[in-house]
Structure 1
Amino acid sequence: MQNPVIICDFDGTITKNDNIIAIMKQFAPPEWVALKDGVLSQKISIKEGVGRMFSLLPSSQKDEITQFILEDAKIREGFAEFVAYTKEAGIPLYIVSGGMDFFVKPILAGLVPDDHIYCNAADFSSNHIHINWPHACDDNCTNECGCCKPSIVRRIAPDQEMIVIGDSVTDLEAAKLADFVIARDLLLQKSEELGLSHKPFETFWDVIDHVKEVV
Structure 2
Amino acid sequence: MRKPVIFCDFDGTITNSDNIISIMKQFAPPEWESIKDDVLAQRCSVQEGVGAMFSLLPSSLKEEITSFILRTARIRDGFREFVAFTKDRGIPLYVTSGGIDFFVYPLLEGFVEKESIFCNGSDFTGETIRITWPHSCDEHCQNGCGCCKPSLLRKLAAQDATKIVIGDSITDLAAARLADHVIARDFLLEKCKELRLSHTPFTTFFDVIAFFEQMEVKS
Shared fold by TM > 0.5? yes
- Mapping of 1:1-215 within 5 angstroms? 1-159=1-159, 160-215=161-216
Residue 158 of structure 1: CA displacement?
4.0
1: CA distance, partners of 2:34 / 2:214: 41
Q: Which runs of 5+ in 1 are unaligned?
A: none
SS at match of 2:42: coil
Give, as a single letter, the amino acid of the residue that structure 2 aligns with 1:12: G
2: CA distance, partners of 1:194 / 1:149: 18
Residue 95 of structure 1: CA displacement?
0.2
SS at match of 1:115: helix
1: CA distance, partners of 2:101 / 2:190: 28
Residue 3 of structure 1: CA displacement?
1.1
SS at match of 2:183: strand
Give, as a single letter, the amino acid of the residue that structure 1 aligns with 2:157: A
1: CA distance, partners of 2:6 / 2:146: 21
Instruction: Give CA deviations for 1:157-201 in whole Å, capped at 9, x if unaligned.
Output: 141211110000110111111111100001000001111111100
1: CA distance, partners of 2:42 / 2:71: 30
Q: Which runs of 5+ in 2 are unaligned?
A: none
2: CA distance, partners of 1:54 / 1:124: 11
SS at match of 2:171: helix
Instruction: Give CA deviations for 1:56-76 in whole Å, capped at 9, x if unaligned.
Output: 000001000000011110000
Q: CA RMSD in A?
A: 0.7
Give 4+ residue runs of structure 1 displaced > 2 Å after superposition.
Answer: none
2: CA distance, partners of 1:26 / 1:62: 13
2: CA distance, partners of 1:212 / 1:34: 42
